[in-house]
Structure 1
Amino acid sequence: MSIVKKMAIGYIVIIFIPIISFGLFLYNQNYNSFLEEYAQGRQKIVNQVLNNISISTVQIESAYQLFQNNSNTISYLSGNYRTDFDQISNFLTYIRPLFSYILSSNRMIDGMTIYMEQQNGMIFRPEMAKMDEFKLEESIKKLPLGVGKWVTSTNVSDPTINLHYVHKIGNRNFEQDIGLLDIKVTSKLIKPLFESLNLNSKSNLYVLDQDHQVISRIEKIPFNKEAEKAILDDAFQAKTKYFYQTVGGDKMLIETFYADSLKLHFVMMEQVDDVFSGIKKNKYVLVMIVTILLLTLSGMYYLIASSITKRILKLSKHMRRVDENHFPLYVGEINKDEVGHLTSSYNAMIRRMDELVNTVHRSEMLRKESAYQMMQAQIKPHFLYNTLESIRMIAEANDDPEAAEMSYTLGKLFRYSLSGSKSETTLKDEVENVKDYIKIQQIRLGDRLQVSFMIDAGIDNFICPHYILQPMIENSIVHGIATVRKQVTLSIRIWEDAQFMFIVVSDSGAGIEADRLALIQGVLHGKIEASHLQNGGGGLGIVNVSERIKMFFGEGSGAQITSKLHEGTTCVLKLGKGAGQ
C-alpha cells in the first residue's frame, strides 16, 4: 500500500471518523439536555398552575361555611316557620341574596343547589331542590356531617370534566343533616392547566381519579386498550414525574401531575419528534454542513499530502535502482524542506558509499600486494636462522658456551615471533618463550636478576593469544630491574580455579610513582582514555595486553597492576576459561 493511501486512511480513521462521532455524541448530549430542560420547565409551570387551582378550590370550599353558619339557611332547611309568609320572606330576604353574593364574588362557581332532607315547606328553585333529585353518585348522600368532597362527572360523547363540590349541612347542634350543598364549578378552574400543557396534534391527555380509573381523555394518538393501560401503569410506577419511553417506534415524553385538592391525576403523552421537529431538521442540516466541510478539508488535505508524498515516491522509486555495483545520484527537484533535506542526505550517503566501495576495492588490492610482499619476506628469516646457527657452531668450536647458548636462544625467540601469523597459541608455549627471553636477559644482567617459576595449573592445552606474557616480563626488566643496581627478584606464578586462570608477574625493582600508577589503573578500569599514556613512562604494554585479553576471553577477564615506589610491582592477568578451550 502506497504512503498516500496510508495517509488518507489514517486521516479518515484518526480525524474524520472521530470528529463525526464526537459531533454526533455532543449533539445527542445537548439534545437530551434540552429534553430534560423542556420537561423540567413544563413541570414547574404546571405545578404553579396546580397551586393556583388549589387556592381556587379553597375559596370554593369556603362557600359551605357561609351557609352552615347562616341561621336563616338552617331555619329554612329545618322547616322552623309558622307560616308560609315567614318562609318566603326569610328566603327572599336572606337566603337568595347569599346565593347571589357567592355567585358574583367567585367566577369559578357556575351554580349552587341545596338538596333538602326535609320537604315540609316550599321549595324555591333553582337554589333549592329535593334530595331525591340529586343525580350524582348515591354514595355522596351518605357523607358524614362536616365532610366535603370533590366529585367529577363526565359525558361519554364530551371529554369535558364537570366538577362538583358537595358538603353536608347540619342543624344547629350538628345532630342531623338537613341538606346537601352541591357547588357546580365552571371549566375555568382547570382550563389554565390544559393551556399550560399546550396540547397539540401529537399528544394525549388522560385524567384519572384516585383509583387510577380514566374519567376523561383527549386522544390525538390512537392506542388500543392494552397499550394505554401499560403506559398508564408505567407512569404511576415511575419514580420520577416525567420520563421518556419509545412507544410504537416513536419517542414519547410521559408526564404525570397530581391535583391534591381535586384528587385527580393527569397523565400526558407527547411525541418528542413532533415537539422538536425544527431541532431535528437543524440536526440534519448541521450534519450535512459538517460532512461537506470535512469532505472539502479532506480533499485539500489529500492534495497537500500528495504534493509531499509525490517526491517521496519518486525518491523511493529511484532508491530501488541502487545495487552493489550501481550508485546513481537523485537528480530530481530538491526543495529546501524536510523532503529536500532527506534527498540531499541520500545523495551524500550515495557519494559516501561509492567512496567506501572504492576504498574497499583499493584496500583489497593493497592486501593482495602486502600478501605478495610477505611471501617474499619469508625468504629472509631462513637466512637469519642459518646465520645464527653458524655463529653457534663457531662459538662451540671456540669453546664459548655462553655465546653458543645466546645464539641458540635468540634463534628460538625469532622463530616464535615469526610464527605469529597464527593469532592463538598455548599458555605452555608462552611460558617457554618468556623463559628464552629471560635467559638472554640473565646473560646481560648477570647475578642481579633472580628468576622463579611456580606453575600450579594445566597450561599444556590452555589456548591464549600470542605475546601476553613477554610484554609483562619486559616491563618488569626494563622499567623495574634494569634501572636499579641491587639484586632483584622476578617471580612468575600461575594457578587456576574453576572459572579463571591466574598469572602473576611480580618484581622487587624500582616500582611506579603513585600518580603514574593511578593513571595506568584508571585506563585499565575504563575511566581514563588510553591516549593519556602516550607521553612515556610505561603502562601502554599492560593496557594493550588487557584489551587483548578482554576481547579474547570475554567478561571478567583482564589485567590489574599494583606497585609501591622503590619496593616493586605486581601484575595480575585473569584469563576466563571456556574461550577457545
Structure 2
Amino acid sequence: MARRTYYLETRVVLLVLSLTILIILTLMLALLYRQDRITSPLFLLLIVSATLIVGFVSYYTLYLPYGRTKHIMQLFASGYTFHAIVDDKIPLNKEMVDLNKTLETLLNTDQIMNASKRQAQFLALQNQINPHFLYNTLEGIRSEALLAGLDSVATMTEALSTFFRYTISNVENLVSLQQELENTKNYFFIQQFRFGNRIKLHISFEGEQEHEVLQYRIPKLTLQPIVENCIVHGLECKVGVGNLYIRVETSESRLFITVRDDGVGMQEDVLQQMQKKLSTRSFDYVKRDEHQGGIALVNVNNRIKLLFGEQYGLTVTSCVGVGTDVAISLPRSKGEEPPA
C-alpha cells in the first residue's frame, strides 16, 4: 500500500476514506454524548483537531501536487514545454506515468527531425514530379528567348531555373550562409522583374571577416521566406522605393542575421499575434502553408529551434510606417550537422 500512495489518485482515495471515518466517528460520539454516556465535551476538541490535521495533510499532499501538475499541463498546452505533462514527483496515477513516457518517446527530437526530413523529401518529390523535365523546359524557353533576342526573358528564365534547382533538390538540414545568400539574391533578382527599381537589396557584414562568415552553416531556406515576407507584406504596399537590408554579425558563439525593411510595418495587434506564435512551439512546421509558399516565418523559427535549441530562433519587431525587423539567432557552426 505504501508504494501506491505515491500517486495522487491513491491519496484522494485515502482522503475520502479518512473523511468517511471521521464523519462516522463524529456521529457516534455525538450520539453517545446525547445519551449521556459521554459527559465531557472534550470530544468536540478531538474532532476539530482531527479535522485540522486532515485538512493540513491534504493541503500538502494533494492540493500543492495537483497545482504543480496543473501548471505543467498549462505550459504544455501553450507550447512552452514539451518535456512532460505530469509532475514527476507525484503523478496523478500509473496510467499518466505511462502516457508521459509514451509522449516523451513520440516527442524525441531525433524522431521528429527524421519525420520532418521525410516530410520535406516527400514534398520535394511531390512538387518536382520530374525536375529534369522542369529544368530542360526552362532551358528550352531560355534558348528560344536568346534566339529571339529577348535577353531579359532569357535572364529571368535562368534565374527561375536556379531558384527551383536550389529549392527542390538535395533536401538537407544545413547549407552554408553563402549558398543561402546566393539563393536569396537570386530570388530578389526575380522579384525585381516585377517591381523594377522600386525595391533594393543591401547586404552588409560586421565583425568577422566576410569570407569566414560565409562558411557558417544555417538551415536551408531560412532567409528566402523572410525576404519574401518583407516584400509581400512590407514593401509591396509602400509608395516609392523600398529597401531591404540583410546585416550579418557574429559573437563568440552565435551568428546573428537581421532582415530589415523600411516598408509599411505591422499593426500592433498583428505584431503581438506574430510574437506569440514565435514564442511558442507547435508542429505546424511539417505542414504545407499554401499562403506562404509552403514555408512561413513560424515554420522557419520552429525548424531553427528544433535543430539547435530553444535559445535560438526568430524575433520580430515592427512599427507602422517605419518598417519591420526580423532578427535570426543561430549558433556559429561550420559542421555538416547541428552542434550538440
- The equivalent position to 1:430 in structure 2, one of 155, 173, 180, is 180
Alpha-carbon spacing, 1:525–1:487, altered in 2? closer, same or farther (3 Å): same
Q: Counterpart of 1:495?
A: 249
- The equivalent position to 1:380 in structure 2, one of 102, 107, 130, is 130
Q: Counterpart of 1:546?
A: 301
- For residues 258 and 215 of structure 2, the distance between their equivalents in structure 1, rounded to whole angstroms, comes to 19
CA deviation after TM superposition for structure 1 residue 424, in Å: 2.0
For residues 510-536 of structure 1, what are the alpha-carbon distances to aligned partners after superposition, in whole Å with 9 as ceiling and x for unaligned?
100011111211232339998xxx9x8
- For residues 558 and 436 of structure 1, the distance between their equivalents in structure 2, rounded to whole angstroms, comes to 24
Q: Counterpart of 1:24?
A: none
Q: Which runs of 5+ in 2 are unaligned?
A: 1-92, 107-117
| Letter matched to residue 413 of structure 1 | F
Q: Counterpart of 2:204?
A: 454
- For residues 373 and 525 of structure 1, the distance between their equivalents in structure 2, rounded to whole angstroms, comes to 27
Q: What RMSD over aligned residues (CA atoms) do the two structures have, in Å?
A: 3.8
Q: Counterpart of 2:325?
A: 570
For residues 107-126 of structure 1, what are the alpha-carbon distances to aligned partners after superposition, in whole Å with 9 as ceiling and x for unaligned?
xxxxxxxxxxxxxxxxxxxx
2:334 maps to 1:580: no
Q: Counterpart of 1:177?
A: none
CA deviation after TM superposition for structure 1 residue 381, in Å: 1.2
CA deviation after TM superposition for structure 1 residue 580, in Å: 3.0
Alpha carbons 2:282, 2:302 under 8 Å: kept: no
- For residues 157 and 283 of structure 2, the distance between their equivalents in structure 1, rounded to whole angstroms, comes to 41
- For residues 493 and 552 of structure 1, the distance between their equivalents in structure 2, rounded to whole angstroms, comes to 22
For residues 274-309 of structure 1, what are the alpha-carbon distances to aligned partners after superposition, in whole Å with 9 as ceiling and x for unaligned?
xxxxxxxxxxxxxxxxxxxxxxxxxxxxxxxxxxxx
Alignment of 1:277-292 (within 5 A): none
Alpha carbons 2:159, 2:190 under 8 Å: kept: yes
Alpha-carbon spacing, 1:483–1:379, altered in 2? closer, same or farther (3 Å): closer
Alignment of 1:248-267 (within 5 A): none
Alpha carbons 1:449, 1:489 under 8 Å: kept: yes
Alpha carbons 1:512, 1:569 under 8 Å: kept: yes
SS of 2:296's equivalent in the other structure is helix
- For residues 446 and 425 of structure 1, the distance between their equivalents in structure 2, rounded to whole angstroms, comes to 29
Q: Counterpart of 1:469?
A: 223
For residues 122-169 of structure 1, what are the alpha-carbon distances to aligned partners after superposition, in whole Å with 9 as ceiling and x for unaligned?
xxxxxxxxxxxxxxxxxxxxxxxxxxxxxxxxxxxxxxxxxxxxxxxx
CA deviation after TM superposition for structure 1 residue 572, in Å: 0.6
Q: Counterpart of 2:258?
A: 504
- For residues 330 and 148 of structure 2, the distance between their equivalents in structure 1, rounded to whole angstroms, comes to 46
For residues 86-119 of structure 1, what are the alpha-carbon distances to aligned partners after superposition, in whole Å with 9 as ceiling and x for unaligned?
xxxxxxxxxxxxxxxxxxxxxxxxxxxxxxxxxx
- For residues 320 and 182 of structure 2, the distance between their equivalents in structure 1, rounded to whole angstroms, comes to 30
SS of 2:213's equivalent in the other structure is coil
Alignment of 1:147-158 (within 5 A): none
SS of 2:326's equivalent in the other structure is strand
Alignment of 1:142-291 (within 5 A): none
TM-score (norm 1): 0.33
- For residues 526 and 566 of structure 1, the distance between their equivalents in structure 2, rounded to whole angstroms, comes to 28
Alpha carbons 2:124, 2:169 under 8 Å: kept: no
CA deviation after TM superposition for structure 1 residue 455, in Å: 2.8
TM-score (norm 2): 0.55
Alpha-carbon spacing, 1:421–1:506, altered in 2? closer, same or farther (3 Å): same
SS of 1:498's equivalent in the other structure is coil
Q: Which runs of 5+ in 1 are unaligned?
A: 1-340, 357-367
- The equivalent position to 2:279 in structure 1, one of 505, 525, 532, is 525
SS of 1:461's equivalent in the other structure is coil
Alpha-carbon spacing, 1:444–1:521, altered in 2? closer, same or farther (3 Å): same
Q: Rg: which structure is higher? A: 1
Q: Counterpart of 1:415?
A: 165
Percent identical: 34
SS of 1:486's equivalent in the other structure is coil
| Letter matched to residue 429 of structure 1 | Q
- For residues 559 and 371 of structure 1, the distance between their equivalents in structure 2, rounded to whole angstroms, comes to 24
| Letter matched to residue 149 of structure 2 | D
* Structure of greater relative contact order (alpha carbons < 8 Å, 6+ residues apart): 2
Alpha-carbon spacing, 1:450–1:460, altered in 2? closer, same or farther (3 Å): closer
SS of 1:580's equivalent in the other structure is coil
Alpha carbons 2:121, 2:171 under 8 Å: kept: no
Alpha carbons 2:219, 2:304 under 8 Å: kept: yes
Instruction: Say which structure is richer in strand.
Output: 1
Alpha-carbon spacing, 1:555–1:373, altered in 2? closer, same or farther (3 Å): closer
- For residues 186 and 297 of structure 2, the distance between their equivalents in structure 1, rounded to whole angstroms, comes to 20
For residues 363-404 of structure 1, what are the alpha-carbon distances to aligned partners after superposition, in whole Å with 9 as ceiling and x for unaligned?
xxxxx9x99998798772111111111111111112222111
Alpha carbons 1:523, 1:529 under 8 Å: kept: no
Paired positions, count: 215
CA deviation after TM superposition for structure 1 residue 564, in Å: 0.6
- For residues 551 and 372 of structure 1, the distance between their equivalents in structure 2, rounded to whole angstroms, comes to 19
SS of 2:321's equivalent in the other structure is coil
- For residues 462 and 491 of structure 1, the distance between their equivalents in structure 2, rounded to whole angstroms, comes to 20
- For residues 501 and 513 of structure 1, the distance between their equivalents in structure 2, rounded to whole angstroms, comes to 29
- For residues 383 and 520 of structure 1, the distance between their equivalents in structure 2, rounded to whole angstroms, comes to 39
SS of 2:205's equivalent in the other structure is strand
Alpha carbons 1:426, 1:459 under 8 Å: kept: no
Alpha carbons 1:554, 1:576 under 8 Å: kept: no
Alpha-carbon spacing, 1:375–1:471, altered in 2? closer, same or farther (3 Å): closer
SS of 2:300's equivalent in the other structure is helix
